[in-house]
Structure 1
Amino acid sequence: MAATCCNFIQASSGFQGLPEYLQLQSYFTRCHQRSSSSVEKVFHKRCGGRLQVERWHQYQHVSCARGVESSLSSVVGEETDEDISKGTLIWRAIKLPIYSVAFIPLTVGSAAAYLQTGIFSARCYFVLLTSSVLVITWLNLSNDVYDFDTGVDKNKKESVVNLVGSRTGTFIAAYLCLALGLTGLTWTAVVERNMRSILFLVCAIICGYIYQCPPFRLSYQGLGEPLCFAAFGPFATSAFYLLHGSSSVKNHFPLSGTVLSASILVGLTTSLILFCSHFHQVEGDKEVGKMSPLVRLGTKKGSEVVKRAVLMLYALLVAFGLCKALPLTCIFLCAFTLPMGNLVVRFVKDNHKDKNKIFMAKYFCVRLHALFGVALALGLVLARNTKFTSWPILLS
């Protein structure tokens, strides 16, 4: 208390001379073992009218104001989280940007088929797009249902189950979407007479099921990212490629190195979205025993994983170009997405500890996924006018 009072005296500059200040400082040093109340009494007695009381109170007022301002900031932040509008919560629950994971595999697969055949079926494309959106809707809704069952979404206000207030209704809606989506995919495969595509699509849906649904729930074991990579990369992208290509070469359309390379890149960007969606949920995942990669690694190491994943994405792009699995047009156009990739890396590195800001990381990854996928597809389409030829790896 004595040392604190001395510091206050120095800051207030309420004494008229340095000798008087030094004398009082010496006195308080000798009295440092006294109780705080005794020290304050002596202080007032010694200082008398020489201490400018107004400055003393002003200093206390500023100090208290800073403390109150800090407290109010935290309280306001909490109230802001609680007072999010219903419209904002509904928008978050819909997760519209996430549906790019239905659009990109289909677009890249269709572009790879166009590169080889020069044919594009708009009817087939939009039927597959609608069916894919329905399947993704099933993934999102069923994920909310099963996370509600385990308690991981108990504080998640944008959960569809929490918004609707009905677990059963959400469950029924989810599997109705799955049934309609499967019907559309199967109908397209039958019309195009390519049953190999159904095998790939079923494998993709199985990956989605064992990712989140009981009794598997492999996402709770930290296996969500590999399953996401396989489902949206090699399985879905290759299936859409086969469905579009079979319109011209029904029984002999090859699974080429080009579509395989492109599907690996699509799978990588899709998995990055899922990985970054865990950053702001680490504490909640720990409570229910969901061992996501970020629970195991921590957010700091997780930010390094994001950096290496983005570097790997562009390194593979160049490697596939050098071995002529992808045309140079793809390399050139995808290079324009480098600033977006850099933004993802920097944002995660700077904000991995702030769960209020890191929430946006997955949306930056969605932008990277969409921009990279569109650039990749456009590169494949433009390569149709070049002498590029893809090499087959599997014939029907």
Structure 2
Amino acid sequence: MIRFENVTKRFRGTSKPALSDVDFEVQRGEFVFLVGASGSGKSSCLRLVLREETPSEGRVVVLGRDLRTLSNRKVPYFRRHIGAVFQDFRLLPTKTVFQNVAFTLQVIGSSRGFIQQAVPEVLALVGLAGKEKRFPHELSGGEQQRVAIARALVNRPQILLADEPTGNLDPATSVDIMQLLARINAGGTTVVMATHEAGFVDQMQRRVIELRHGEMVRDERHGGYGDRSALPSLAPEPERGAAAVAALTAVLEVQREAAIAAAAGLDPTAVPPDDDEAEVPADAASASAGVAAAAAAAAAAVAVTAAEAQQAEALAHADEEPVADDAPPAEASVAPVPASQTQAIPVIDLEQIEVAELGLADRLGLGETDPDDEVGPTS
């Protein structure tokens, strides 16, 4: 079906060939994985099979035809025997599911009767029966990929080429697409798939051809993915300002608890006792200390302007409940601090601000700040 005979492919302007002396043969009905890091030559192999490129050296034989001798005029007729599926679906956004699949047959001049029969059959094969009138934007990513597969299969090709067909899909949908490709292969269609999905390759145990820097380093009949060191890491990069937002979220939760405790006359800094009938402290100053500690942490996480601090402080004082007559005076437990040694600490009212309502600049710590502020933008 497909034979590469010592194929080398060089692109203009590059010093190293995309493929170097690649030699393999794919038999009818096989399912073959092309694996390797980005830039290893997988897509170049598929383009050579589709006759989008021609080899610099060696030859590529597909369906018994030497593609070097195939004239440009005959390329469209040759491609009717090959279906291709890509990572980005490549659907026509203004056409329905039925029209997207039928378009392939219309281009090659199929009769209306054949189109009306073939399109529903292939849509049922890929699990899209009943969705013929939907548009691409009304479908999920997995359904859009199924439309692309149906379009590639509607002309009943002998070979199906798949270039990272699950690259834009979630894991569960990717499993469905791989099962669909396996069923298509079981029906007799030769499938050649370029992929980074190591899990699928390991589980299916089909033939694996591994490329590295344009050279074929492995051809294994029942193989796994092999070396995974070149696979991209799944660890997300830290987002700038995320630490400040997380800190503010935690502070708001602490302040919420402190406000509830202060309203009930409890000490928010005390550990709840195990005894159900434990005494309730009436020291309101300790509740104020807990609120002040939370506010200080908020000020350290996100810079707040002086005007916002005054407004928040006023709101906090407005919500304070009067201290009971029998409660000890605040001066007895908290020594006054000279005004020259203090700095206004903003108290953020939960009723006035939420994390989601912060502007982008404020969430990143890049909002306007007072020149006298000691707390600068977060990094």
TM, length-normalised to structure 2: 0.24
TM, length-normalised to structure 1: 0.24
Structure (1/2) with the larger strand percentage: 2
Structure (1/2) with the larger helix percentage: 1
